[in-house]
Amino acid sequence: MKKTKWLRTLTGVTLTVSLMVPLLAACGKGDGSDAKTNGVLRIATMYGGADDDYFRQQFTDAYEITHPNVKIEIVPVIDNSQYRYAPPKPGEKQPDPLEKLKELMTGPNPPDIAVVNLEQLPDLVSNNMLQQLDPLITKDKFDTADIVPTVLEGLKSAGEGKLYALAPTFTSSALMYNKALFDNAGVAYPKDNMTWDEMFDLARRVSSGEGANRKYGFSFNTYSYGDNVFYEMSNIYTPPLQLRMFNDAGDKMTVDSDRWETVWKTMQGLIKDKVFPEQPDRSQMSKPMNPGSDDYNPFQNDLFKSGRLAMTIVQNYQVYEMITANKSATNVKGFTPIDWDIVTVPTHPETKGVGGNIYMNGIMGINTKAPNPTDAWSFLKFVNGEDWAKLKSRSVSQMVSRKKYIQTRDGLNYNIQAFYLLKPNIFNEMNKLYRDKPMIGQVQSMGYNYFKQAMDGTKGIRDALKEWQTAGDAALQQMKDNPNAPINMAPGAVMKVPY
């Protein structure tokens, strides 16, 4: 590394540390009793290494500065370093991280804190492996009133109405809409807490035009076209319904059902009415993308920024991208700033208040067998407290869990609460199935062809679902007979991925 680059890096680090020190000092105030403890705090993470730099920078460095008598040890459940020189073979069954965590939490040298995913919480709670936090919260008068519903209620839902873990940050999604397209169509703007059917009705009403001038009502993301609906529907639309493709054992398909037929009919109607963006001319998507050229348009494949899409689902970081794009409008030839706002992602009547892709970062609970529960609770209070939230609130990629420090950017007035009003969906059918049956994703993906045939009208919807179920059952039997071998697809069931 050149000396100048080294000095520049050192200067940046020095400046960052100098800016952090006053705030970190404030973080330590009022916590004197915890700071006097003297021990080792062991934190189990799902993946990583014993010296996981990312986890330490994200969560533990600030605590160790203000609590010098506490030494933190990171204990990865799955140590990624073991795969550095010998990566797992394709199709090789991977260890179940939840089962490994449970073994670690009950072993001879248990961790004090477990870092988990939301869908793992119910299992740990039902097996009495995490300490209930409500009594500690009451005893120390730890304020949870300012924690957003998305996080607090989501954690309670996973803990049978009680708190067994806290999460300091989260990422979330919302429905972004183009005001001009609604104004031009004379249609009222979307609103919070719409159902999917209400949103689809708006999408139909605001869709208009033909060909290159077509304005589309809705897409699951800003780069999505009709051929991608199968995958995005499975990631966003069906999970809150707990609509399953496989049985519990993962050895039989469950798609030949009235509920799946209803979902596919809904998607078919939206595709037929050209509410979803149509598959574009590939030659138009391959225009020169060289900065400085006359044809350069960084947003040419972004349907929303191109002004052709009325509504789409975005992650919180995409709001920052939209703001940045509008600010740079004068530098982008042909780009017109978008007048936009956001509302909550639509929900299903059967699961009211649950929706969107919400992911909590740093979900941590105290092991019931923790050797050092005092420092464990001290740490949880610290990273979920106000001062820590203030420190992390400048992040673009994540949002802090404390409402007070979730602010709109650049002084704009948009519906920021849309990101934290809904409860997260904790149903994820594929997580465990992928670990137990590494090839099962191929069975899911083969459904794309049957879906496309049904959408094109070359097959009836129920016939397509029956064929997927039959072909899928045969593939699952192959997996049972030879778990690590590629699946020999049935005729007509060749897997095709559209992107």
Q: What are phi and psi of 326, to 5 degrees?
A: -65, -40
| Residue among 199, 235, 232 nearest 217 (CA) | 199
> Which pLDDT tens digits describe the chain residue by residue (499 residues)?
433 333 333 334 333 444 444 444 445 444 444 444 568 999 999 877 656 788 999 899 999 999 999 999 999 998 766 555 455 555 556 778 899 999 999 999 999 999 999 999 999 999 999 999 999 999 999 999 999 999 999 999 999 999 999 999 999 999 999 999 999 999 999 999 999 999 999 999 999 999 889 999 999 998 766 668 999 998 899 999 999 999 988 999 999 999 999 999 999 999 999 999 987 665 555 455 555 555 667 777 789 999 999 999 999 999 999 999 999 888 887 788 999 999 999 999 999 999 888 999 999 999 999 999 999 999 999 999 999 999 999 888 899 999 999 999 888 999 999 999 999 988 777 777 877 787 888 899 999 999 999 999 999 999 999 999 999 999 999 988 887 667 776 554 444 443 3
Contacts 24+ apart (CB under 8 A), 83-91: 89/484, 90/438, 91/438, 91/439, 91/483, 91/484, 91/485, 91/486
Confidence at residue 15, expressed as pLDDT on a 0 to 100 scale: 39
Strand-pairing partners, residue 115, are 364
Positive or negative, the Cα torsion across 335, 337, 339, 341?
A: positive
Half-sphere exposure of 441 (CA within 13 A, CB side): 11
Distances (CA, A) of 378 to 31, 112, 151, 449, 499: 8, 12, 20, 53, 47
Number of other CB atoms surrounding residue 466 within 10 Å: 16
- Contact between 154 and 165 under an 8 Å Cβ cutoff? The reply is no
Average pLDDT, the chain: 85
In order of their start, the domains of the chain are 3-168+358-419 (3.40.190.10), 173-225+276-351 (no CATH)
- Contact between 359 and 171 under an 8 Å Cβ cutoff? The reply is yes
Alpha helices in 286-368 (DSSP H): 316-327
Confidence at residue 295, expressed as pLDDT on a 0 to 100 scale: 60
* Tokens coding 302: 């972004």
Percent of the chain whose pLDDT exceeds 90: 64
d(CA 442, CA 421): 35
* Tokens coding 343: 């509302």
* Tokens coding 237: 């639309």
Alpha helices in 295-372 (DSSP H): 316-327
d(CA 150, CA 164): 16
Query: Which residues have a Cβ under 8 Å from the Cβ of 61 and sit 6 or more positions away?
Result: none
Cα angle vertex 88, ends 83, 91, to 5°? 160
Confidence at residue 39, expressed as pLDDT on a 0 to 100 scale: 87
Confidence at residue 4, expressed as pLDDT on a 0 to 100 scale: 38
Tokens 């809409």, residue? 177
User: Per-residue DSSP letters for 25-91?
Assistant: HHHHTT-HHHHT--EEEEEEEEEE-TT-HHHIIIIIHHHHHH-TTEEEEEEEEEEGGGGSSSPPPTT
Distances (CA, A) of 143 to 106, 130, 315, 321: 31, 21, 28, 33
Confidence at residue 490, expressed as pLDDT on a 0 to 100 scale: 55
Q: In whole angstroms, what separates CA 466 from the centre of its chain?
A: 31
- Contact between 25 and 66 under an 8 Å Cβ cutoff? The reply is yes
* CA gyration radius, the chain: 25
Strand-pairing partners, residue 218, are 311
Confidence at residue 398, expressed as pLDDT on a 0 to 100 scale: 92
Contacts 24+ apart (CB under 8 A), 258-262: 260/465, 261/461, 261/462, 261/465
- Contact between 326 and 244 under an 8 Å Cβ cutoff? The reply is no
DSSP label of 400: E
Hey, is 184 helix, strand or coil? helix
| Residue among 259, 264, 253, 260 nearest 471 (CA) | 253
Distances (CA, A) of 160 to 124, 164, 347, 351: 12, 9, 22, 17
Ramachandran class of 288: left when φ > 0, alpha when ψ lies in -120 to 50, beta otherwise: beta
The string of pLDDT tens digits covering residues 327-379 is 988 888 778 899 999 999 999 999 999 988 899 999 999 999 999 999 999 99
Confidence at residue 280, expressed as pLDDT on a 0 to 100 scale: 67
* Tokens coding 411: 């002084």
d(CA 235, CA 315): 14
